[in-house]
């Protein structure tokens, strides 16, 4: 199973949900594109040569608006859905001793990350992500990767717009991650972590430059056989911090939040695999707190 580039593209989900209305922005900072927790178990695993298609389905809630002290200052009560189609490719070529790959993802979603006073639940195009450089490496008990990605402002965005599905700004993402297999057995335990820095640029028509953010995804799991069928079972989670303050739109301070929950994945047919991840958010400051369910289908010929 190669749930590598696909994990990245859960990210895309959030590309579709990055900014809310003007009223919401006075309460919480404008967030980056990246949806923390998108990598999950074995998120930095080595990608075998070839191409793959992954369909991400994310069901998520925006429940409570938390201030800088972590206190609830409002209730959103929103349920959202996003679908992300991702195509990834890994070559036989090497750069700096690492295997070269690339991928791109296109998201469609029913809403933004931040709550809005006007709702529109129709499915719309979000912000497309492209990763022109993905480098994969491996040793006897370790997989690792380096990536450079570009997030485009392709989704609809107007300040305060009810149909916003995009962010209105460009971002560059720098990623590094690894998976350790204790004892060198890739069919047993795994411990993984992936860090991403998102550099955000000026938002259109608002005079706001969102602060940059750091996201760390992690996971620990074990492959077990149930009636002879392998299941990758474990716990995955994330931590995200805004590392520089937003400029423009007042000074709402910095945001941070965390999440964790169970995850399970398994092959379901030749070339096909299915993965389910749930994560509950906590420790939220200056952001909207909710919960996430990911249902991911992957096909690799």
pLDDT on residue 203:
95
Rg over alpha carbons for the chain, rounded to the nearest Å, is 18
CB proximity list for 293: less than 8 A, separation 6 or greater: 58, 59, 60, 276, 277, 278
Helix runs in the chain, H state only: 5-8, 10-15, 22-25
Contact between 150 and 174 under an 8 Å Cβ cutoff? The reply is no
Q: Tell me the whole-structure pTM to 2 decimals.
A: 0.86
**3-state SS string for 66-101:** ECCCCCEEEEEEEEEEEEEEEEEEEEEEEECCEEEE
pLDDT score for 97: 92
**Which two tokens mark 250?**
């007042």
CATH 2.40.160.40 fits 5-299, yes or no: yes
What per-residue confidence (pLDDT) applies to 150?
98
Tokens (6 digits) for 229: 């069928």
Per-residue pLDDT of the chain (301 residues; tens, 9 = 90+): 443 333 333 333 333 333 333 334 346 899 999 888 888 999 999 988 999 999 989 998 888 999 999 999 988 778 889 999 999 999 999 999 999 999 999 999 887 655 554 456 788 999 999 999 999 999 999 999 999 999 999 999 998 887 889 999 999 999 999 999 999 999 999 999 999 999 999 999 999 999 999 999 999 999 999 999 999 999 999 999 999 999 998 888 899 999 999 999 999 999 999 999 999 999 999 999 999 999 999 999 9
Q: What is the Cα–Cα distance from 104 to 132, expressed in whole angstroms?
A: 8
State how far the alpha carbon of 43 is from the alpha carbons of 38, 120, 190, 217, 256, in Å: 8, 33, 10, 8, 22
pLDDT attached to residue 19: 33
């Amino acid at each position: 199973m190669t749930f590598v580039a696909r994990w990245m593209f859960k990210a895309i989900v959030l590309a579709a949900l990055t900014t809310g209305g003007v009223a919401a922005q006075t309460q919480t900072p404008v967030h980056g594109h990246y949806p923390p927790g998108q990598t999950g178990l074995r998120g930095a695993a080595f990608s075998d040569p070839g191409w793959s298609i992954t369909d991400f389905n994310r069901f998520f809630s925006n429940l409570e608006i938390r201030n800088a002290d972590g206190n609830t200052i409002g209730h959103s009560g929103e349920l959202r859905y996003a679908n992300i189609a991702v195509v990834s490719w890994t070559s036989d070529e090497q750069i700096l001793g690492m295997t070269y790959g690339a991928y791109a993802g296109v998201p469609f979603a029913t809403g933004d990350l931040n709550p809005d006073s006007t709702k529109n639940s129709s499915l719309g195009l979000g912000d497309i992500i492209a990763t022109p450089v993905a480098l994969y490496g491996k040793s006897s008990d370790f997989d690792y990767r380096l990536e450079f990605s570009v997030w485009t402002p392709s989704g609809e965005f107007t300040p305060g717009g009810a149909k916003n599905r995009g962010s209105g700004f460009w971002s560059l993402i720098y990623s590094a991650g690894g998976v350790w297999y204790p004892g060198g057995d890739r069919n047993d335990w795994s411990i993984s972590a992936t860090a991403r820095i998102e550099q955000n640029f000026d938002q259109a028509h608002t005079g706001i430059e969102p602060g940059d953010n750091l996201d760390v995804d992690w996971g620990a799991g074990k492959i077990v056989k149930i009636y002879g069928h392998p299941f990758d079972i474990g716990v995955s989670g994330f931590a995200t911090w805004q590392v520089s303050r937003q400029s423009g739109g007042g000074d709402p301070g910095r945001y941070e939040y965390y999440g964790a929950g169970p995850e399970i994945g398994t092959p379901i047919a030749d070339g096909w695999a299915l993965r389910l991840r749930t994560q509950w958010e906590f420790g939220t400051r200056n952001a909207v707190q909710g919960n996430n369910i990911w249902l991911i289908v992957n096909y690799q010929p």
